[in-house]
Structures are given as structure tokens and as C-alpha cells.
Structure 1
Amino acid sequence: MKNIRYYLHALLFSFSAPIAAYMMSMNIKTHAPPNSLWGAVTFCIFFCLVSVLITFVLTRDHLSSGMIASFATLGILYTRDLFMLLITIILTASVVLSILRRKLDLSPSYMLMNILSIGFAVYFGGSYILFIHSAPWDMDVSMAESIRVTTPFPYTHKPDIYYIILDAYGGDKMLQKLHEFDNSGFISALEERGFVVIQEGKSNYTRTIHSVGSSLNMQYLDSVDRIMSESYLWWPLTGTFANNETRKFLESQGYHTANIASGWSFTSLKDADFYSQPYPLFLNEFERFFVQNTNLSMLGFMGKYGVSIPSYDSHRKTVLYEFQQLGQIATLMSPKFVFVHIVSPHPPFVFDAEGNPIDPDYQFTIADNRYLITPPAKYEKGYLDQVSFVNDQILQAVDAILANSATPPIIILQGDHGPGNFLDAASESPPCFYERYSILNALLLPGIQATIVPQDLTPVNTFRMIFNLYFSANLEFLPNHQYFSTPEAVHYFSDVSDRIDDSCIFPSN
């Protein structure tokens, strides 16, 4: 055990690498929960142990193998800026010690690295613990009213229910008015298949986390606003997806839940009765960030061997996998509630209109930022091409679902919000709100006349209507509202319902 002193610094540096990366990134702290980094911590410790084993076999020297393992850890598992800072401190201190000792002897370096690694681990470990204790972990968005089935289910077989979110898919009238894009062919194809299409579909929120969290829970997120109005964190709302009111009610009625991984942890329900993902090892938000921002990015080739290394290619594969799996899910045991979130036509724009692959000219991200994709005309073309691609894919998926369903299913195709070419998320005075709040909202409701569906239906009332129509639930419709929030206070909502139809000016930059 006395030789542990030669390896302590390597172990502590490897343990601290993911924690330091997490605590130093405001963006990743916003989106990824603190417990999402423990897989990366385990990997880093394993990497360190393997490095120690290999170097000791080669050198047969504890001091050398410990030092090499530490430098390998710092060089591969740390961001470049942090790596350069630590190496500078280590080398400078080693040289100073050597001068003071009047001879070049690097043997005390392991003691210096032990001291530095302990301080490093204490600082970032302490910051991590404080962050955990100060964060709002549990958000209660349960409905104020309970769902009561007042009459027996009126049909012989309960229909499967598909809730398919096409991220950032805007309404056809908005696409025509603002972007001169004729989407009438797609809308007609849906109507030919029996869908009711809301002519001026509107979202209730501008972000997926709020829009889908609200629709799945059939209510506005007033409790989130009340508790987290000054918070920038997204991840505490994870439970609004995993334990949503729609899922709980349907499971109480004998439904199984099915989900296909979206590449976004919020909408990837791993505890579903049926869960499918395109990669055997599907990295979470933090793990993708960690790979992208360290020299682990050299492992891009691992995408060919079942690891979802963050890239435009892996994103393409995920989107295509979701479309392809929709038809296969229809063959599973019924009744089932299928929730699928497809991050398209939302950026990144990785398909042209014919479905050919495209790689954007910036580092991989799924952020929707008109300042990232410039000029605005470039965003517009990329978005509209991807809409054309999605149209073809979703029609094929719908046809496969219908062909493989023993009982006519309920299918909801819904945008969570519109595109973001006109949106400045940091300002309540963007070029216009109309584009962002306009959504595709199409519903296939077997046995229900189209005239029963309100043409002002918004996502928050979607499942209230369905449960009333098919389960006699007698839920009241909520008034339609549109809420906006800035990134700095992402859960502090302003009601902008009276501004969503204001005239728009195409952004100049």
C-alpha cells in the first residue's frame, strides 16, 4: 500500500476530470443533471487504472508509471485550457523546487502533484456538493384536478395512442406567409389519411422543455414559474416528462408505454415498457459534452462500433432510426401509448430536401440559434429543405403505423414550437413571435367527426380533449395562452398571447 503515494494524483485527477468539466460549464450545468456525470467518472477511473497497468508493465517503476498515467489523464480527459493551466503549474513548481535544491531532480514532483490533485478534488468536489444541495430537484407538476372515468370505455378495443413531436415544425400558413413555402401538398396528404389539421396551430411556449412538459401534463407550468422563476436550470424539469400525467393515466387504464430515444435525455424515457435506441451505448448530454470538449473526441470512429459519439452523422442516424421504428412499434402489444420526440426539422440541418446528408460548417450542436446559422437566408433554406425531408418520412411512418395496427390508432403529429429564424431568445422584442408560436397540429381521431375538434386547440388541451372523447373524462379545457421567457430566467413566464400575430420583419443579420 505504500506505493499508493505514487498513484494518488493520477486517481484524483481522473476522478475530478468530469466533475471539473461539469462545474466549469454554465451550459452543461443548465441542461444536464448532476447525477448524469457518474458514468463518465467511472470511465475516467477505469482509463487511469489501465494507463497505470500498461505503464508499469513497460517501466517497472512506480514513480514513472504514476507520472505517465497522470499526464495521460490530464492530456486526454481535460479540456485544453485546464490541461495547459495544470501542466504549467506542475512544471513551474518542479523547476522552482529543483533550483532550490540545486539539482534537477523530478522525484519530488509526485508529492507536488498529490498536493495539487487533492486541492483540485476538494475544490471542485466541494463546489459540486454545494451545487447539488442548492438545486431544486423535485418539481411537482401534477394536475390540480384528478381524471375520473365516468362511463365504461365505449369501444371494443382501446386504440393505441401515438404522440409524435416533430421539433420546430411550423404551421403551413406561417410557412407560406413568412417563408413563401407551399406545404399544402403535405397537409392534403394528411387529410386524405383522415387527419384533422388545425389551420392556425399555436404552441403555448417557445421551448421544447416547456411546451412538451405542459402538453404531457395537460396544464400550464405555473408551479414551475412559482418555484423556479429566477433559475436558469433546465434539468429539474426532467420529471415533467418521465412521470407525466398523460402517461400515468393511460397506464392506469392498462396501456403500455413505448418510447424511442431522441438523443435528448428529457424525452428519452428509459423506464418505458418498450424503449429502443439506435446505439447500444447512447451517451447522455454530459457524456456527449465531455467527449466533444476533451481529446476523447479522437474516438469518433467508435460511432461505427455502437457508441453515439456526438456528430452530425450520429444525429442523422438517430432521426432516421426514429422514423423507421415507428412502423415497427405498431406490431407491439396493444393498447400502448407511444411517445416519440424527433429533433427535426429543428436544427442542425443535416438533410437536404431529398434526404441526402449535409454537415453544417460549425461544431456539432442541436442548439436552435439564428446567430449560429447565418445569414438568415441560410437558416431559412436549411429549415425548409429539412421540412420537405420530414414530410416524406412522416408520411411513410404514418402509413406503416396504419398498416401494422389491428385497431385504428390515435395519432397526434405536433410541433412543440415553430422555427427560430425570427426569434431572439434573449429579448421580449424579437422581429416577431408569429413564427415561433406557429406549429403543425394534426390529429387522427378514429370514430370522431372533424367538426368536434376545436380549430383553436393548443397542445395544453390535446390530451384533455382525447381523454374526454375516448374515456369520458369530463376535463375542462384551459384558456389558450402563449408564454415567453428569456434564457437568464428561463422559467419566468410573460404572457404574450396578444402579440403572437403581430407583423414580422425578416431579420437582416
Structure 2
Amino acid sequence: MLKNLYHKIKNFHFILLPVFFMLHVNNFYYGLIPGDIMVRHSFAYTALTISVFLFAQFYYRDLVKSCLFSFIALGYFFGFGSVKDFLAESHTLSRLSSYRLMLPLVFIMLLSLLIYLKKSSRSFNRLTTFLFIAISVNLIIELVFLTKNIVNKNDIKNDLGDPELTMVKNFTPCDTCVQPDVYFILFDEFTSSRCLKQYWNYSNDTLINYFRDNHFFVSEKSHSNYSFTTFSLPCTMEMQYLNLPPGYTEAGAIDLARGQYTLFNNAVVNIFEKQGYIFHNYSIFDMKNHPAYNGIYFDKLTDLFISDETLFGRTMRDIGWNLSNPFVRNQRKRDSLAHVETFNIRDPYVKKTLADAKDAVRAQDPAKKDFFYFHFMLPHDPFIYDSMGNPRSFGYMDIKLRYLDQAKYASKILIDLVNYIKANSKNKAVIILQGDHGFKSWPGEENFEEKAFENLNAVYLPDENYTNYYDGVSPVNTFRLLFNHYFHTNYDLLQDKSIQLFFKPDLKKIYGIRQKNS
């Protein structure tokens, strides 16, 4: 009976390919890929598998040949990324990794296979048996790895902070303390006024005077602790430097995903909640029990963990931008159209972030204690605004000047929102304003990575007691100082330092595509 069952199912070896592929990716990135992304890709690859088989069956009218063609074609599809990486890293075969060679070669091989199987009179019984056994063994291996990951709770190893949440466990709520509402407002890639003066020769007097007139403390010499958003923010919200391997100098896509994982269940939000605060997540990241109101901005990163391994996903990542407006031959015209498309996507997002922030401030219940986190993707690229917030017409203007204009517009949004908060809270709320890092696009300039750390860092305390604040305080100490001030925690302050890291090739590819489209 089992023998008969085996002979019936062995031809359908190709069905196990997408199952093996998804299990392998899940094990490699265990705990980092959200379930909804896994499900979406699983449905897509199931549909692809069925479509390839139906095409082959229509062409061959032969079950064995249809299954064999489906297995090999899907093998090309799911294994393309790994093969391309292998060729690119090989000293002798690197030239073969060119898309000009690989894509035509894949097409020729599949076409040749299609024709060969059609003309062949062989039974292919041994090959079918081999493929079924091979994919079954590999599938069993992946299932063993999955079991080990689940039993050993290996997803916790992705946490670069304190997965045990020691500071949270040791925190004792303070019943007699003053407990103001807290607004943490982050402007992505907002550099310091000091940096604008030094490297742009621009005096940001509007913002400087506003902070002075409204009694903010400003850390003029502030430097972010990391120059990547998904490292900088976990550092701030965990109130500690990330636990990275010794000699760690380059960050890849998987590392940034681990940063997001660390942020998901961070110490700051947990301490606020233990103190009785309600957390309102208007950031660009999901956090435990608090999904981002505006959606996840970096969801593409974990999506690429799956799609980048495939023929379609890798090709679209690397050269897909060539397909943008393919019927427009003039490069400047194509870039202009891409710029308009980018504006139409980003502008509503920025406007909605500001509108949602004001709605949240207006709806705040004075009888409750609230911690708000607003995250503006400004003045971060793409640089689509002029200094007044109007759409910037496309042009090859110097990137530093485009950034400066967008920083001016970001300053206007900042002042508008802070005025709104102060008016609604009657100056009784804590307001923290920060850039997660500084301007990072310094083409051809020396020490550009060092400049990338200089960031906006200002805080308003209702009692205006800034005794323990000092010029040069960095984001890692932001909430240590705040909790010491209001909740009497007596946390030691950490050394303020910036840790210089670089992009690995996979991140250069991902961010290179994004910048080209901007």
C-alpha cells in the first residue's frame, strides 16, 4: 500500500519546492519575518507553482514531464538569488553574475529544457525518484531546524538590547511623583543647528530662537549613537548600547531587522506602562501590543528577505528601476516622472503624520497619563519639498541644498506641532525633539560618516529644571535623564559616544535602489 502511495506522489516532487524554500528562509531569519508577510509570499508562490504546472501539463500532456519541467523551472526561480551571490563572490566566475549573461542564459536553458522534454521518449523514472528523495530529505532537515528554533526560543537571540528587560523588572512605580504627559517627537535625519552652520554656512536662527524663547534645553553638541535608524532608535528606547559582536563594523539587512526586533519590546515603553501611562504609537515601527498607526515604514526590509532569493525579486531589486516609465527614452524625463511618483507617495504620508499627531494631541484626556511617540520622515530623503513645503520641481540640484530646503520645512512643521502641544497641554507636557541621526549623503567629502552623527536634540520640561542636562548629551541617555527627573530612578548615565558602522553590500543594493528612485 505504501509502495503504491509512493509511486503516486513521487511525481509531484515540485510541490515540495516552495514549501522547502519558505521553511529555509524562515529558519535562516527565524523570528524576524512577520507572519503576514510569510503568508502572503506562501500564497503567491503556491499560485506560481500551480500556474507553472498547468502550463507544462497543457504543453506536454504528460504528467512525468510536466512535473519534471515544473521542478527545474521553479528551482531556477527560487535558487536564482543564491546562485547569483555565489557567482558574484567567486574570483573566477564573477563575470557570469552579470544580468546581461544570467537572464538570457536562464531563458535559453528553460527553453531548451522545454523542447528537449517534448522530444524525448525517456521515462525519467530515476531522475524523478532522485528529485523526490532529495527534496524530501532537505525538507526534513529544515523541519528539524524549525523544531530546534521553536524549542530553544531562538527568536530571542535577535534582541540586541536586554531581552530579559532587567531595567523594567527592577523599576518600582512612583506614586508620589509628578507625572506629566510626554511627547517624543523624532524627525528622521535632522542634523544639529551647529552642523548646519559649520557645513552649510546656514544659521538656523528660526529654530534656535524658538527653542530659547520657549525655554527648551538644547544639546548643541549632540551626536547620535548610531547612524542607522534601526540601530539608533533601539539604543534610545532600550537606554543602552546594542550588544554587537566584537569587531563589528558592517551592518547588513539582517542586522537592521534585528534592530527592529529589539525595538519591538523596548524598556522605555514598558517602564511608562508600568508607571501607568498609556502609549500612543505614531512611529514607523510596530511595538508589542501597539501597532504603528500609520503602518510600518520599513516593512520592505523583511519582505526582501524572501523575495530577494527569487528570480523575480532579485531582478526587480537590482535593475527593476529600468522598468520605470520604459517608453520614455529621455533620461531626464524619466527621472522627472519618477520624482513626481515619489512625491505622490510620500507627501500624503507626511501630511497624515502631522494631522494624526494634532488629532492625538487634541483628543488627549487630561485625566490620563500619556506617552506619545511621533515619527516624521523629514528631512530624510527623498528631497521633494522646497523650504516652504511646496512640491520641489525636479532638477539635478546639489543634494546638500535640497536637504537644507527640506530641513527648513521640517523646522516649520516642528514649530507648528510644538506650539499645538504647548497650547493644548498648557505648557505642562514634556516635549522631546530629536533626530535619530544626521545628514548622511556627503558625496565625495572626507569624514562624512562622522558628520552623519550630528543630530537635533532638544527637550522641554514643564518645571524648566535642567540641572542634570549637559551639552553633548546623546539619545542613549534621553530617557535615563527623564526617568531620573520625574520617577526618581537614579539611573547612571552612560558614556556619550557614536559607533561608526558601514553598510554591507546587500544594504547598499537595497538603499541604492531607493535613492535612485527618489
Q: Tell me the TM-score normalised to structure 1 length.
A: 0.68
Equivalent position SS for 1:437: coil
Match of 1:408 in 2: 428
Match of 1:431 in 2: 447
Letter of the structure 2 residue corresponding to residue 91 of structure 1: L
Any unmatched runs of 5+ in structure 1? 24-28, 263-267, 301-309, 362-374, 491-509
| Structure-2 change in CA distance of 1:185 and 1:123 (3 Å) | farther
Tell me if structure 1 keeps the 8 A contact 2:53–2:70. no
Match among 355, 368, 387 for residue 389 of structure 2: 355
Tell me if structure 2 keeps the 8 A contact 1:164–1:339. yes
Match of 2:303 in 1: 287
* Structure 2 residue 499 is the aligned partner of structure 1 residue 483: yes
Deviation at 1:419, TM superposition (A): 0.7
Distance 2:129 2:214 in 1: 68
Per-residue CA deviations over 1:8-28 (Å, capped at 9, x if unaligned) read 64x5565577789999xxxxx
Q: How does 1:122-141 map to 2 (within 5 A)?
A: 136-141=157-162
Deviation at 1:386, TM superposition (A): 1.4
Per-residue CA deviations over 1:66-107 (Å, capped at 9, x if unaligned) read 999999989999989687665443332343345554xxx9xx
Match of 2:418 in 1: 398
| Structure-2 change in CA distance of 1:71 and 1:348 (3 Å) | farther
Distance 1:62 1:469 in 2: 76
Deviates more, 1:385-394 or 1:460-469: 385-394
Distance 2:470 2:492 in 1: 13
Tell me if structure 2 keeps the 8 A contact 1:423–1:433. no
| Structure-2 change in CA distance of 1:447 and 1:271 (3 Å) | same
Match among 216, 235, 259 for residue 214 of structure 1: 235
Deviation at 1:239, TM superposition (A): 3.5
* Structure 2 residue 206 is the aligned partner of structure 1 residue 189: no
Match of 1:497 in 2: none
Per-residue CA deviations over 1:413-469 (Å, capped at 9, x if unaligned) read 101211113488xxxx94355522211111121122355532232111111111111
Distance 1:118 1:382 in 2: 58
Deviates more, 1:191-200 or 1:160-169: 191-200
* Structure 2 residue 369 is the aligned partner of structure 1 residue 335: yes
* Structure 2 residue 252 is the aligned partner of structure 1 residue 236: no
| Structure-2 change in CA distance of 1:434 and 1:53 (3 Å) | closer
Match of 1:455 in 2: 471
Tell me if structure 2 keeps the 8 A contact 1:12–1:118. no
Tell me if structure 2 keeps the 8 A contact 1:52–1:66. no
Tell me if structure 2 keeps the 8 A contact 1:149–1:472. no
Match of 2:356 in 1: 325
Distance 1:295 1:432 in 2: 30
Distance 2:346 2:442 in 1: 25
Tell me if structure 2 keeps the 8 A contact 1:161–1:337. yes
Tell me if structure 2 keeps the 8 A contact 1:351–1:358. yes
| Structure-2 change in CA distance of 1:240 and 1:116 (3 Å) | same
Letter of the structure 1 residue corresponding to residue 351 of structure 2: L
* Structure 2 residue 461 is the aligned partner of structure 1 residue 445: yes
Equivalent position SS for 2:389: coil
| Structure-2 change in CA distance of 1:198 and 1:261 (3 Å) | closer
| Structure-2 change in CA distance of 1:128 and 1:7 (3 Å) | closer
| Structure-2 change in CA distance of 1:194 and 1:359 (3 Å) | same
Match of 1:41 in 2: 41
Match of 2:398 in 1: 378
Deviates more, 1:335-344 or 1:385-394: 335-344
Q: How does 1:20-35 map to 2 (within 5 A)?
A: 33-34=32-33
* Structure 2 residue 276 is the aligned partner of structure 1 residue 277: no
Deviation at 1:387, TM superposition (A): 0.7
Per-residue CA deviations over 1:305-351 (Å, capped at 9, x if unaligned) read xxxxx966434433332222111222245322222333321222233
Letter of the structure 2 residue corresponding to residue 389 of structure 1: Y
Tell me if structure 2 keeps the 8 A contact 1:214–1:220. yes
| Structure-2 change in CA distance of 1:186 and 1:126 (3 Å) | farther
Deviation at 1:217, TM superposition (A): 1.5
Distance 1:483 1:282 in 2: 22
Any unmatched runs of 5+ in structure 2? 82-98, 325-340, 507-518
Equivalent position SS for 1:413: strand
Letter of the structure 2 residue corresponding to residue 256 of structure 1: I
Q: How does 1:84-233 map to 2 (within 5 A)?
A: 87-101=107-121, 136-141=157-162, 148=171, 152-155=175-178, 158-221=179-242, 223-225=243-245, 232=252, 233=254
| Structure-2 change in CA distance of 1:128 and 1:378 (3 Å) | farther
Distance 1:430 1:30 in 2: 36
Tell me if structure 2 keeps the 8 A contact 1:77–1:294. no
Letter of the structure 2 residue corresponding to residue 397 of structure 1: L
Deviation at 1:254, TM superposition (A): 0.7
Tell me if structure 1 keeps the 8 A contact 2:31–2:158. no
Q: Tell me the TM-score normalised to structure 2 length.
A: 0.66
| Structure-2 change in CA distance of 1:413 and 1:97 (3 Å) | same
Per-residue CA deviations over 1:30-85 (Å, capped at 9, x if unaligned) read 999355651332331463488589989x99x8979999999998999998968766
Per-residue CA deviations over 1:138-173 (Å, capped at 9, x if unaligned) read 444267767555864333xx3221222212111101
